Amino acid sequence: MKKLLMTAAAAALALAATAMNASAADKLKVGFIYLGPVGDLGWTYMHEVARQALVKELGDKIETTYLENVNEGPDSERSIVQLARTGHQLIFTTSFGYMDPTVKVAKQFPKINFEHATGYKRATNLGTYSGRFYEGRYIQGVIAAKMSKTGTIGYIGSFPIPEVISGINATMLGAQSVNPNIKVKIIWVNTWFDPGKEADAAKALADQGADVLMQHTDSPAAMQVAQQRGIYAFGQDSDMIKFGPKSQLTAIVNNWGPYYIKQTKAALAGTWKSEDTWDGLKEKMVVMAPYTNMPDDVKKLAEKTEADIVAGTLVPFKCPVLGQDGKPVECKGGTHLDAGQILGMNFYVKGVDDKMPGK
Amino acid sequence: MLIVEAIILSVIAASTPLLLAAAGELVVERSGVLNLGVEGMMIMGAACGFAGAFLSGSTFVGALTGIAAGMALSFVFAVLTLGLAVNQVAAGLALTILGIGLSGLIGASFVGQKIVPAPHLYIPGLSDIPVAGKILFAQDGFVYFSVLLVVGIWWFLYRTRGGLILRAVGDSHTSAHALGYPVLKIRLMAVLFGGGCAGLAGAFLPLAYTPFFIPGMTAGRGWIALALVVFSSWLPGRLVAGAYLFGAVSILQLHAQALGLGIPSQLMTSLPYLATVIVLVIISRARGSAGSVAPASLGVVFVPDR
């Protein structure tokens, strides 16, 4: 009896699956791999917001699937393969740690197009995209230096990867443009998402005298600590003003929607090709949340800094960029560091009083 | 605020959820049941606890709903492992996966909402004593309860007949059964108690630690609680020491980093785990040939009529 039931169930499942396939056959299937839960209010949440924008725009022509809470590294390979095997023609893998697995799966499925966020390895069917978040960090550095009374910025880092390092450096360069003696205290929590640990790190930084908090982790825990302690903080990935109505100075908001719509349209038209997209404030892939909780002069300075970056008259990594030892680093981009140097950044600029993990 | 005082306050907050969840699991394992679903029960406690507190406006109601959610999930585990004699390891792991998924579903509409964090005790005079006042007389209810809970468990296990029977069931369920004790009923009570503790530990996170709910916010604390039970070699006193050691190392490493001492953060993060391994080795060496300190029937399925 048991066996019979199982067979019947399997048959029903198979039927359901074919039925679904038939209805979906003429729609383009777009898949997403997410690092955290869609409700993290940070990195993954913003990719989910963009996916919803995509569905709103092209909902009648496409069908989307997402897998959330997918661990980085070799584990993610199975999830990507799963999407590839179930008929997805365009797959976005939305975290740096999915890089090598995506490369591997892209090789196995040459007819499927892949897009990997924040990585640097490409193939004919694998493109990359990322935001110039460091532009936003530079503005935050300027604001932080203006707002800090103790002259100490607290910085919560996730992992010492180039994107996080370049964020720290851009912050420092922005801050130094206002106050050359500004200090930054860095705590690495070695996780992207652990609200409790992020809050503990924020408390530790505040206890040690930091009065402006920056974070490169995904939850609003640090913002909430800032609100409780009566100090300032910046939102990360999304506008976190709800968690720090008196604390948030601004936030770097990741705006992936337009890019997802553009690439999906290209896939629908058959014109998709592997590209290396790296857009910032100018292209609005990186957007600043309203400047709040600051005096007018600071707000004006922040707005001017943003306008200058958009106009290209201000370049955060303008040469000479001094390394921690005070010596200028090689300037491969002529007047500024080139893309490779920023995307692969593995040194601190002068004034960062921290030893790089693993160095 | 003195830095030492700030550190101790953070340590207490970080240790409390670990202690609550581990204390419950200790009782469960002492009855001979291995429930690996602590993480799942915790996150359910977090989601339902937040929902309860948000809808009622009361931390106390939130804590109760958290306990209820943990118990409900542990009841599922009890039905599977005690009623249907399913493998405990598999059922526990399934419970964790179920809890993470279900809590995400329940909590989805509460993401981004705010509540007032759990109130802290304030006794005029006592709470104002420098350093000690803040640490001893100005905590939230969860902290005091966690200490009372462990004392209560110790008293129950070693000073009452009920505790003696529970330990007997955990060490040899066939003997206990032969003596006429209702093995499965006792284990059911223990599993429900453990579920309630895990639910309360989970509820602590959104109600007191970081007053908002986000899916997956337990971030592996349930697994640490499980490790702590082994670390304590199933003794309540050592459990408190273990939980606070864990909390202390995880907070101190953050402060060490902020001071810029230059110790690799990856090494610091692994210290609590390293300490667990070392203590386990020392304990097993000290016991020599006496064998394992674990309850003898731990994880073994019991079918009464066998």
Short-list B227, B237, B236, B234, CA closest to B273 = B227
Q: Does residue A349 form part of some domain?
A: no
Q: Which residues of chain A have a CB within 8 Å of the CB of B262?
A: 355
Residue A170 and residue A107 share a domain: no
Residue A338 and residue A241 share a domain: yes
Residue A294 and residue A171 share a domain: yes
Range of the domain at A192: 133-253+289-343
Q: Which residues of chain B have a CB within 8 Å of the CB of A203?
A: 6, 10
Q: Does residue A168 form part of some domain?
A: yes
Is residue A10 predicted with pLDDT exceeding 60?
no
Asked if A70 contacts A76 with a C-beta cutoff of 8 angstroms, the reply is yes
DSSP codes, B210-263:
SSS--TTTTTTHHHHHHHHHHHTTT-HHHHHHHHHHHHHHHHHHHHHHHHT---
Is residue A11 predicted with pLDDT exceeding 50?
no
What's CA A71's distance to the chain center, in Å? 16
Is residue A185 predicted with pLDDT exceeding 50?
yes
Q: Which residues of chain A have a CB within 8 Å of the CB of B219?
A: 191, 193-197
What's CA B263's distance to the chain center, in Å? 30
Residue A329 and residue A314 share a domain: yes
Q: Which of B7, B214, B265 sits opposite A357 (nearest CB)?
A: B265
pLDDT digits (tens, 9 = 90+) for B263-299: 777 787 787 778 777 877 877 777 654 556 788 889 8
Q: Tell me how many residue pairs between chain A and chain B have CB atoms under 8 A apart.
A: 112
Strand A183-188 relative to strand A286-288, pairing: unpaired
Boundary (domain end) residue, out of A131, A150, A174:
A131
Interface list for chain A against chain B, based on CB atoms closer than 8 Å: 36-41, 69, 154, 185-191, 193-201, 203-205, 207-208, 210, 219-221, 224, 242-243, 353-355, 357-358
pLDDT digits (tens, 9 = 90+) for A317-353: 998 999 998 899 998 988 999 988 998 899 999 989 8
Whether B10 sits inside 8 A of A200 (CB atoms) is yes
Short-list B81, B95, B80, CA closest to B37 = B95
Which residue in A44, A197, A223, A240 has the most chain B C-beta atoms within 10 A of its own C-beta, making it the best mutation to test that interface?
A: A197
The Cα of B296 is separated from the nearest Cα of chain A by a number of Å equal to 35
The Cα of A355 is separated from the nearest Cα of chain B by a number of Å equal to 6
Asked if B149 contacts B23 with a C-beta cutoff of 8 angstroms, the reply is yes
Whether A190 sits inside 8 A of B266 (CB atoms) is yes
Number of domains in chain A: 2
Residue A304 and residue A189 share a domain: yes
Q: Which residues of chain A have a CB within 8 Å of the CB of B111?
A: 39, 41
- Extract the residue ranges of chain B whose pLDDT is less than 70: 1, 287-292, 306
Mean pLDDT of A146-164: 93
Residue A159 and residue A34 share a domain: no
CATH of the domain at A78: 3.40.50.2300
Bridge partners of residue A28, in order along the sequence: A62
Is residue A205 predicted with pLDDT exceeding 50?
yes
Give the pLDDT confidence score for residue B14 in this predicted structure: 92
Whether A204 sits inside 8 A of B251 (CB atoms) is yes
Boundary (domain end) residue, out of A104, A131, A158:
A131
The Cα of B26 is separated from the nearest Cα of chain A by a number of Å equal to 23
Residue A64 and residue A46 share a domain: yes
Confidence class of residue A202 from pLDDT cuts 50, 70 and 90?
very high
From CA A159, how far away is CA A72, in angstroms rounded? 12
Is residue A124 predicted with pLDDT exceeding 50?
yes
Give the pLDDT confidence score for residue B288 in this predicted structure: 57
Asked if A28 contacts A264 with a C-beta cutoff of 8 angstroms, the reply is yes
Say which residue, A290 or A16, is predicted with more confidence.
A290
Whether A195 sits inside 8 A of B217 (CB atoms) is yes
Weakest mean pLDDT among A110-114, A198-202, B107-111, B146-150: B107-111
Give me the residue label for tokens 């048959």. Answer: A11
The Cα of A208 is separated from the nearest Cα of chain B by a number of Å equal to 7
What is the phi/psi pair of residue A63, to 5°? -135, 130
Give the pLDDT confidence score for residue B287 in this predicted structure: 64
Q: Does residue A84 form part of some domain?
A: yes
**B251 and chain A: CB distance < 8 Å anywhere?**
yes
The Cα of B266 is separated from the nearest Cα of chain A by a number of Å equal to 7
Q: Indicate the domain borders of chain B.
A: 15-217
Is residue A272 predicted with pLDDT exceeding 70?
yes
Give the pLDDT confidence score for residue A123 in this predicted structure: 94
Residue A139 and residue A114 share a domain: no
Short-list A82, A266, A190, A261, CA closest to B271 = A190
What's CA A280's distance to the chain center, in Å? 12
Residue A336 and residue A293 share a domain: yes
Is residue A198 predicted with pLDDT exceeding 50?
yes
Q: Does residue A235 form part of some domain?
A: yes
Q: Which residues of chain A have a CB within 8 Å of the CB of B212?
A: 195, 220-221, 224, 243
Is residue A6 predicted with pLDDT exceeding 90?
no
CA distances from B108 to A205, B50, B101 (A): 31, 11, 11
From CA A229, how far away is CA A206, in angstroms rounded? 8
* Percentage of chain A modeled with pLDDT above 90: 76
Q: Which of A195, A196, A208 sits opposite B258 (nearest CB)?
A: A208
Asked if A274 contacts A90 with a C-beta cutoff of 8 angstroms, the reply is no
Residues sharing a CB contact under 8 Å with residue B167, sequence separation 6 or more, in sequence order: B30, B157, B295
Q: CB neighbours (10 Å) of residue B112? A: 16
Whether A200 sits inside 8 A of B250 (CB atoms) is yes
Average pLDDT across chain A, whole number? 90
Q: Does residue A112 form part of some domain?
A: yes
Phi-psi sector, B262: left (phi>0), alpha (psi -120 to 50), beta: left
What is the phi/psi pair of residue A254, to 5°? -85, 125
Whether A208 sits inside 8 A of B10 (CB atoms) is no
pLDDT digits (tens, 9 = 90+) for A211-265: 999 999 988 999 999 999 999 999 998 999 999 999 999 999 999 999 999 999 9
